[in-house]
Chains A and B, each alone.
Chain A
Amino acid sequence: MLKKSYQLLLLVVLAFSLVLAGCSSNSTSSNGGKDSDSDGKLKEAEEQPLAKKEGNSITVGVADNFISMDPHDTNDTLSYSAQKSMLEGLVGFDKDMNVIPVLAEDYEASDNAKEFTFKLREGVTFHDGTPFNAEAVKVNVDRLADPDNNLKRHSLFSLVDKTEVVDEYTVKVSLKEPFGAMINNFAHPAAMMISPKALEEYGKDVARNPVGTGPYKFSEWEPGDHLSVEKNEDYWQDGLPKLDGITFKPVPENGSRVAMLQTGEADYIYPVPTEQANEIQGKDGIVIESDPSIIVRYMSMNTNKEPFNDLKVRQAINYAINKEAFVKVVMQGFGSELDSVIAPNTQFYSKQDPYKYDIEKAKQLLKEAGYENGFEATIWGSNNSSTMKGMEFLQQQLSQVGIKLDVEPMESGTMSDKIWSVENPEDAEIELYYGGWSPSTGDADWGIRPLLGGESFPPQSYNTAYYKNDKADKLINDALQTADPDVREKAYADVQKILWEDAPWAFLAVTNTMGGKKNYLEGVYLLPDGSLSVQEAEIKQ
């Protein structure tokens, strides 16, 4: 009996605390409700006094573990964010993904897009004292171009035929065939320069001992806990760096990351969960920055399979989805409708005429295609909560025109088996796939060819729509044969028009980058491809 009364007591206490929790949270929920009514737009941060900051070092909270510090062998945007504080490339991207010179003072491309000449900046040294010169560039590009090195970013440089040292500060890279977007590949963080001495000394272990020319030097890396960099006193740019050091901390749990920013344990966090952005904006000296990215969200339709081989069905699906509601519901308003296959900040983007949300028209098209009563289909996607939310939304939308979707979330292992390892397009079970893509070279080519090019079927690349259109393929190829921006722009405008009308995807949205900082921090920002720039960070007091 004693045991029982003890249990009862415990229950009562538990019930009571639950009710209490309910009461206190209800009061905040009414606030939260109001915020999300304002169409999810970020509310204006009110004037608030600068938060207090001691010391001249900052902590950045990120969502995942860093994988590698070797840019040539990295394929996650997050690792690049840390690498970019220590390493630099010949060229790079500015805030709007325009190519700007960094270690090269100037560059030029031959008309046939086969030869690229870089004039290097003089007087730059690596952190270990090795001088930066044409020879160092050659070592790096040769390393990337050699398939035997098995580097993850070899694909961006597989076209390189040879690299020549013209003089101490001039280097010429020749390609096997023309490739108009090559400068963007050089601006990709994959092409950042590592000290040749470090490459020789550490070999593959350079991934744990990065030596570059950047404003910060590598200090220490405890995987899973933190990675820290310290000031490079001999940096070539005047006035930089302005901080003594930066510590990157992986914090996968959304709530903990937000709490770190609130308490000041972190000075900058990303991504800020969209659900909480408005809740923390303007309090405790927090400023949320949300800007359009180049990351697109789409649902691909397997054009080899019935009923998606019918253009009318694909267009009907595009008409049946309320894109405005998608942005509002799935992204809490932190995004915009997608009106081409690539996002507005991507090079050579051309706006298309949107598929206006129109259920009647969608039903009409389905009727013409012979699917008056709709049909059943399966949608695949990864099993994280935001992807599941997107898929559930699509399920709701398409149910309005009689299309019954079966949502199948998969963890990445299953997904790689079922999607990315299918050798023969006829064997592909995939029907609908909810995906996202960040063309990290910032160029239209990398936003289109890997996803919708006729030679990009899995397992080679990411064409989950198994879409092949000879006319589009020819235009994509034409655009690569030249470095002339006008010719390329024309070709990509035509490609985008074809793809838009052919609708191998349901075009959904462009996401926003979400960063949160304390208001004393300046010069830290997210690039549209989702990577972080900390080179110019400073603390204002």
Chain B
Amino acid sequence: MVGQPEPAVPKNDPKGPRVDVKDEKKKVKTPFSEFWKKFKKQRLALFAGIFIVLLLILAAIGPYITPYGSEEFDYDNILVGPSLAHWAGTDAYGRDIFSRIIAGTRISLFVGLCSVLLGATAGTILGLISGFYGKWLDSLIMRMCDVMFAFPGILLAIGIIAVLGPGLGNVIIAVSIFSVPIFARIVRSTTLAVKATLFVEATRSLGATNRRLIWKHIFPGTTSSIIVYFTMRIGTAILIAASLSFLGLGAQPPTPEWGAMLSSGRDYLNTAPHVTFFPGMAIFVTVLAFNLLGDGLRDALDPKIKD
């Protein structure tokens, strides 16, 4: 764990009198505890973080605790509104919407995490190369990113799906591809800044290889911005994945994917709005939580913002 205080800090009686010297020493903290101190103050982000942890737990154990199976149909109870037996009502086939939303948590989070992880990895590598080596390589990578930025995100994703064919796996690929340029650009700009610092110059003059320079010295300097954007992008990725499923390009029936559930309920918008309301709410709250967490992380990690 990173949370351990450094041994340099002496253990002292918290109630005891303090002298100035000790206070000076107390300010030397691990990066994590410093981050935690700042992050704790972001009430909303903290709340969002807790919510996301709960979601992750739900995704892991969800299918074992749901009251009904996600594909269990009951033609005698179709489109029933929320009740004690069915907390979020039932859909057009009499399936329990609450159980399906829980089952869908796993899919949405998996798609969100996977696609951003893939995109961030590729983007970070490209950004590091681009920022470190510069010259024509930099121009090439950045111009390619510009081309991809020129497409609106969802359009690019639809285009990729059109080539690859519909399906959840391909949605992950599509979403990760359009996450690449964002990470590449952010990592490149941080790389440029870190590369110009004195300690990198010093390491270089000591004879460190490029590889060592990049991985041991520059990459760690970029992590804080990567973490912030990583969190924010998960929200976007979940939203795009749900949109693609809504359009019939992602998850196929009967998968309880939130976007697909939303899509199948749109015919009943007037007569049974709960069929669209609850999956929509699930998407809304989850994406909001990731964005709030990302906001909080940014404020906590940004050295320019003083507490």
Binding site for B on A (CB under 8 A): 4, 8, 11, 15, 18, 21-22, 25-26, 28-30, 32-33, 35-36, 254-255, 258, 273, 275-276, 278-279, 322, 325, 328-329, 383, 385-386, 388-389, 391-393, 395-396, 399, 407-409
Query: How many residue pairs at the A-B interface have CB separations less than 8 Å?
Result: 98
Q: Which residues of B contact A18 (CB under 8 A)?
A: 280-281, 284
From A26, A388, A395, A396, give the contact of B273 (CB < 8 A): A26
A-B contact pairs, 28 of them (CB 8 A): A18-B280, A21-B273, A21-B277, A25-B277, A26-B273, A28-B273, A29-B81, A29-B273, A29-B274, A32-B272, A33-B79, A36-B78, A36-B272, A255-B270, A273-B267, A276-B271, A328-B75, A329-B92, A385-B267, A386-B267, A388-B248, A388-B264, A392-B93, A393-B93, A396-B73, A396-B93, A399-B71, A407-B254
Contacting A32 at CB < 8 Å: which of B79, B93, B94? B79
Closest to B266 in A: A385
B60 CB within 8 Å of chain A: no
Known: A22-B277, A25-B277. A385 touches B264 (CB 8 A): yes
The verdict on B82 contacting chain A, using a C-beta distance below 8 Å, is: yes
Tell yes or no: B160 within 8 A of A by CB: no
A275 pairs with B81, CB closer than 8 A: no
Given contacts A389-B264, A393-B93, whether A275 and B273 have CB atoms under 8 Å apart is no
From the candidates A25, A26, A36, A393, name the one contacting B79 in the complex (CB within 8 A): A36
Residues of chain A within 8 A (CB-CB) of B93 are: 329, 392-393, 396
Interface centre among B44, B80, B267 (most CB of A within 10 A): B267
Q: Which of B75, B80, B252, B284 contacts A329 (CB 8 A)?
A: B75
Closest to A11 in B: B288
Q: Interface size (B, Cβ < 8 Å)? A: 34
Bound CA–CA A273/B266 (angstroms) = 12
Q: Which residue on B lies nearest to A31, using beta carbons?
A: B271
B254 in contact with A392 (CB, 8 Å): yes
Contact B267 A26 (CB under 8 A): no
Contacts of A29 in B (CB 8 A): 81, 89, 271-274
Interface positions of B from 258 to 307, Cβ below 8 Å from A: 263-264, 266-274, 277, 280-281, 284, 288, 295
Residues on A with beta carbons closer than 8 Å to the beta carbon of B82: 26
Given contacts A32-B79, A388-B264, A396-B254, contact A279 B270 (CB under 8 A): yes
Q: Nearest Cβ distance between residue A434 and chain B, in whole angstroms?
A: 13
Say whether A30 contacts B264, CB under 8 Å: no
Specify the chain A residue showing the minimal Cβ separation from B277: A22
Q: Nearest A residue to B295 by beta-carbon distance?
A: A4
Q: How many angstroms from the CA of A407 to the CA of B254 in the assembled complex?
A: 9
Among candidates A22, A33, A328, residue contacting B272 with C-beta atoms closer than 8 Å = A33
B269, A255: Cβ atoms closer than 8 Å: yes
Q: How far is the CA of A279 from the CA of B71 in the complex (A)?
A: 28
Rounded to whole Å, the gap between the CB of A257 and the closest CB of chain B is 12
Residues of B close to A254: CB separation below 8 A:
267
CA distance A385 to B270 in the complex (A): 16
Does B134 have its Cβ within 8 Å of any Cβ on chain A? no
Contact between B277 and A275, CB atoms less than 8 A apart = no
Chain B contacts for A391, CB-based, 8 A = 253
Q: Is the CB of A33 within 8 A of B80?
A: yes
A329 touches B270 (CB 8 A): no
A282–B295 CA distance with the chains assembled, in angstroms? 52
Instruction: Report A390 CB to chain B, min CB distance, Å.
Output: 11
The answer to whether B81 touches A26 (Cβ under 8 A) is yes
Given contacts A15-B284, A29-B271, A33-B81, 14 further A-B contacts (CB under 8 A): A18-B281, A22-B274, A25-B273, A29-B274, A32-B272, A36-B79, A36-B271, A329-B75, A383-B248, A385-B266, A386-B267, A389-B92, A399-B71, A409-B252
**A322 close to B295 (CB less than 8 A):** no
Interchain CA distance A34-B115 in the complex, whole Å: 43
User: Which residues of B in the span 96-110 have a Cβ within 8 Å of any Cβ on A?
Assistant: none
- Inter-subunit contact A26/B274 (CB<8 Å): yes
Interface contact A409-B81, CB-CB below 8 Å: no
Are the CB atoms of B271 and A275 closer together than 8 Å?
Answer: yes
How far in angstroms is the closest Cβ of chain B from A127? Answer: 41
Q: Are A30 and B248 in contact (CB under 8 A)?
A: no
A residues in contact with B266, CB < 8 Å: 385
Task: Flag if B271 contacts A32 (CB, 8 Å).
Answer: yes
Contact B71 A396 (CB under 8 A): yes
- Across the interface, which residues of A come within 8 angstroms of B274, CB to CB? 22, 25-26, 29
**A329 contacts across to B, CB distance below 8 A:** 75, 78, 92-94
- Residues in B with CB closer than 8 Å to A399 are 71
Distance, CA A439 to CA B143, complexed state (A): 58
Please tell me if the beta carbons of A322 and B253 are within 8 angstroms of each other in the complex: no
Interface string of B56-86 (1 = CB under 8 A from A): 0000000000000001010100111110000
Cβ distance B232 to chain A, nearest Cβ, rounded Å = 13
Inside 8 A of A8's CB, which chain B residues have their CB?
Answer: 44
B residues less than 8 Å from A383 (CB atoms): 248
Kindly name the residue among B81, B252, B284, B295 whose own CB sees the greatest number of chain A CB atoms within 10 A: B81
Cα distance A409–B263 in the bound complex, in angstroms = 14
With a CB–CB cut-off of 8 A, which chain B residues contact A386? 267
Residues of chain A contacted by B288 (CB below 8 angstroms): 11
Which residues from B are CB-within-8-Å of A11? 288
Contact B75 A325 (CB under 8 A): yes
Q: Give the complex CA separation of A391 and B82 in angstroms.
A: 26
Output the least CB separation between B184 and chain A (Å): 25
